[in-house]
Amino acid sequence: MEKSNAATVPHDSELSGGRRVSLLRCGAFEPLVVLPERFCIVPPLLRLIRPRQWVKNAFVVAPLFFTPGLLSSHNIGVVALGVVCFCLLASSVYIINDYMDRETDRQHPEKAHRPLAAGTVTPVQALTFLVLMMIGACALAIWLGRDFALIALLYLVTNLLYSLALKRLSIVDVMLVALGYVLRVYAGAALIGVTASVWIISCTLLVSLFIALAKRRDDVARDLGAGHRAALKGYNKPFLDASIAIVLASLVVSYLIYTTEPHAGTDRLYLTTPFVIMGVLRYLQIALVEERSGAPTSIVTTDRFLILCVVAWVCSYGALVYG
């Protein structure tokens, strides 16, 4: 019997003794293995909501981090609840997106193992879980205040439009992905009653746009084609490489300008610039040289060089602003 390739949709199989097993991928870079479904390390429903992606909601914390004068136990608690709310919203969006894309995901070597595409979670189970998460997210958003709730609603609406239609439009798709990060920053600012700096918004937009473009480049490098993602017909490597170069140049210049302004009594924030540049160059190396920028969250949470750059930046920024 021929072995199925990586893009084959995993199916349940009957083995001796009546046990049902599933082909499950338990990590982005781990080999495909055959496991009894009840012994899977990550339950399908938990994988459906993608808890590893919740790290993106750290952008909600950014306004408080950049405003040391407002650091208090109350604000920390409020922002923490804001992060929880966006985790619920983001997971709801992931369920909707996976439900809409379950057929095309089966053509992708990694996305084919998502619970809905793989059949380890039924559409009814997914939609039931979606309703419960949406109720919790809406209740929490309303409790956190009108401004936060409106931003959360805008985040949800833009992501619904993305999932239903706009993700098929090249350029628009990556801009909407970047907008999601910007809205997180605005939401964090609303929670503590401040106005987000234009430079923080600019840097957030540019870094998230860079990551989105790098992800599209990975799809093109893998030659997945428009059958997997309709927007890919509007991209090729030269265009994406040029776009990435423009965005990165703008990002570094924006951050440099931001550091030249006095913040919290210090005018030495420019000392944090080397860590930003090294982190950007490392991610660029992953995208252009290693050509494995298709899973941004996995990269940010597992690449040691990137983690060291982030930690060094946080420590140096914190020492200058909070010291």
Query: Residue 227's pLDDT is what?
Result: 61
Quickly list H helices, 101-236: 102-105, 115-118, 123-143, 146-164, 172-192, 198-221
Closest-CA residue to 245 (of 274, 219, 216, 213):
213
The percentage of the chain sitting over the pLDDT mark of 70, rounded to a whole number, equals 85
Per-domain residue ranges of the chain: 44-196, 199-225+233-323
Query: Do the beta carbons of residue 206 and residue 105 sit within 8 Å?
Result: no
Fold of the 44-196 domain: Tetracycline Repressor; domain 2 (1.10.357)
DSSP string computed for 245-280: HHHHHHHHHHHHHHHHS-BTTBS-GGGGHHHHHHHH
Closest-CA residue to 179 (of 202, 201, 154, 205):
205
Three-class DSSP category at 148: helix
pLDDT reading at 288 higher than 60 = yes
Q: What are the φ and ψ backbone dihedral angles of 156, each rounded to 5 degrees?
A: -65, -45
Alpha carbon distance 11, 108 (integer Å): 15
Query: Cα–Cα distances in Å, from 227 out to 106, 218, 275, 323?
Result: 11, 15, 39, 53
Summary count for the chain: helices (H), strands (E)? 13, 3
Beta bridge partners of 34: 23
Query: Residue 105's pLDDT is what?
Result: 73
Could you read off the pLDDT of 171-197 as tens digits, one per residue? 999 999 999 999 999 999 999 999 998
Query: Do the beta carbons of residue 280 and residue 244 sit within 8 Å?
Result: no
Tokens encoding 51: 């808890």
* Alpha-carbon radius of gyration of the chain: 21
Query: Do the beta carbons of residue 306 and residue 299 sit within 8 Å?
Result: yes
Strand-pair category, 33-36 with 20-24: antiparallel
Could you read off the pLDDT of 6-65 as tens digits, one per residue? 444 444 333 333 334 333 344 333 433 344 444 344 688 888 888 888 999 999 999 999
The model's pTM: 0.81
Query: Do the beta carbons of residue 110 and residue 118 sit within 8 Å?
Result: no
Least confident of 19-28, 83-92, 133-142: 19-28
Query: For 51, which DSSP code?
Result: G
| Residue type at position 19 | R
